[in-house]
Structure 1
Amino acid sequence: MAKSRNAAETKAAKAEAKAARKAASKQRRSQLWQAFQIQRKEDKRLLPYMIGALVLIVAVAVAAGILLGGISMYTLPVLGIVLGLLVAFIIFGRRAQKSVYSKAEGQTGAAAWALENLRGKWRVTPAVAATGHFDAVHRVIGRPGVIFVGEGSPARVKPLLAQEKKRTARLVGEVPIYDIVVGNGEGEVPLAKLERHLSKLPANITVKQMDSLESRLVALGSKAGPGAVPKGPLPASAKMRGVQRSARRR
């Protein structure tokens, strides 16, 4: 009796999990479709680029199949269609990402939003220091070490960065400390290139050292009060970041 009840409960749990996965998958597809429709209306070159890439790759695959003959005449066109669809999807994801960043550029909280959506094992603490003008310094812990990212007026952000580096250096010892100012001026990193810039920094510490470093830096606290920096720059457009993640997974 007990075994029968347990089997029934297990079956029900599996069915519930399957239904949840189907619902999540359906929601992702719906979000992708909505994002595609929005991007298509805003970006007139999107469809020509996607269709052009698909047609070109399929044409090359068909031509190669004819030249090689045999079973390749059937397999290569199919492979070309799959590859063409994948490339078209990548084009959509990248142009959507570019659109999101161009809208976020220059808005208060844009750098914090971009950092909190980083891929990989990054530990982000937004607004560890800020001014009344919404200039802010965000702390990132990663394999390179400690990175401070400032956004706002360079004249006000640079002194904040210097203060945070000095405070942090007392605790981290030999761990490298980097500083970045987000912007389009000389020596600054554009918002759209921020993630790429961070990923190019050398790996200096291990993940275990990151954990230890994070626990030590928590003791420093924050110089910025609550609400010093808005949560994000584009509540609606930020959803596109989920689209980019979905595109990378597929």
Structure 2
Amino acid sequence: MAKSRNPAADKAAKAEAKAARKAASKQRRSQLWQAFQMQRKEDKRLLPYMIGAFVLIVAASVALGLFAGGFTAYMLIPLGVVLGALVAFIIFGRRAQKSVYRKAEGQTGAAAWALDNMRGKWRVTPGVAATGNFDAVHRVIGRPGVIFVGEGAPTRVKPLLAQEKKRTARLVGEVPIYDIVVGNGEGEVPLSKLERHLMKLPANITVKQMDSLESKLVALGTKAGPAAMPKGPLPNAGKMKGIQRTVRRR
């Protein structure tokens, strides 16, 4: 294998990449620490739950280690510490996420924000239809098919959903079309459960079919003219977007 003709350049590139990784890692730690401080001030039960879970798991591992004796004891105790820290971190992530959705609920554009933060291969197009009263319909393409998510007053959103389903059905053929209204009323899906609701839908199409559908529906949206997204305050939880992803990765 031929050696590089410029070792100095290679060394500089490696040093730059290493520095970039360190900076990104430092930024993630800073975001997590800021999120923890914010959540701790708002959620008085956070620390007791985290400390309680950590102590309980470590105590259980110590008890098991002493009971087992020998080399097993030396393995179980460090394992309990790691497991306790992991569970405490998961508790923080879950409670922070609940707090995020609680703050965002009811705000203009909250459903679009939640859809944009979903895990997995979802193609989200916010504001395919809207009213002057800040009601909106967002289109999601995924393995289940085409999903329309409406937010706003149900009496105004439902006609928008029916209209978009009718327009879309002409192009997608037998591909399933779902409609969801975000809210806390009967037959509606709460914002905090929106992602879970979509994840539970059956897989009806392949990723290649998703690509084809996206191309067709982009053309449909262009013909009809883009709907203006409701202009309003972004959810205060929007700044938690990067933090949520970091928690999920860990």
TM-based fold match above 0.5: yes
After superposition, the C-alpha distances for 1:150-196 in whole angstroms (9 at most, x for unaligned) are 00000000000000000000000000000000000000000000000
Deviation at 1:248, TM superposition (A): 1.8
Report the counterpart of residue 147 of structure 2 in structure 1: 147
TM-score by length of 1: 0.95
Q: Distance in 2 between matches of 1:62 and 1:4?
A: 53
1:192-211 aligned within 5 A: 192-211=192-211
Structure 1 residues 44 and 224, CA gap change in structure 2 (3 angstroms): farther
Extract unaligned runs of 5+ from structure 2.
Answer: none
After superposition, the C-alpha distances for 1:199-233 in whole angstroms (9 at most, x for unaligned) are 00000000010000100111111657565324863
Structure 1 residues 4 and 183, CA gap change in structure 2 (3 angstroms): closer
Q: Distance in 1 between matches of 2:214 and 2:47?
A: 45
Report the counterpart of residue 247 of structure 1 in structure 2: 247
AA aligned to 2:97 is Q
Q: Distance in 2 between matches of 1:147 and 1:239?
A: 26
Q: Distance in 2 between matches of 1:231 and 1:28?
A: 29
Aligned length: 247
Q: Distance in 1 between matches of 2:217 and 2:8?
A: 50
Report the counterpart of residue 22 of structure 1 in structure 2: 22
Structure 1 residues 115 and 4, CA gap change in structure 2 (3 angstroms): closer
- Runs (4 or more) in structure 1 with deviation over 6 Å come to none
TM-score by length of 2: 0.95
Q: Distance in 2 between matches of 1:191 and 1:245?
A: 18
Deviation at 1:91, TM superposition (A): 0.4
1:217-236 aligned within 5 A: 217-221=217-221, 227-230=228-231, 233-234=234-235, 236=236
Deviation at 1:241, TM superposition (A): 2.8
1:36-185 aligned within 5 A: 36-185=36-185
AA aligned to 2:129 is A
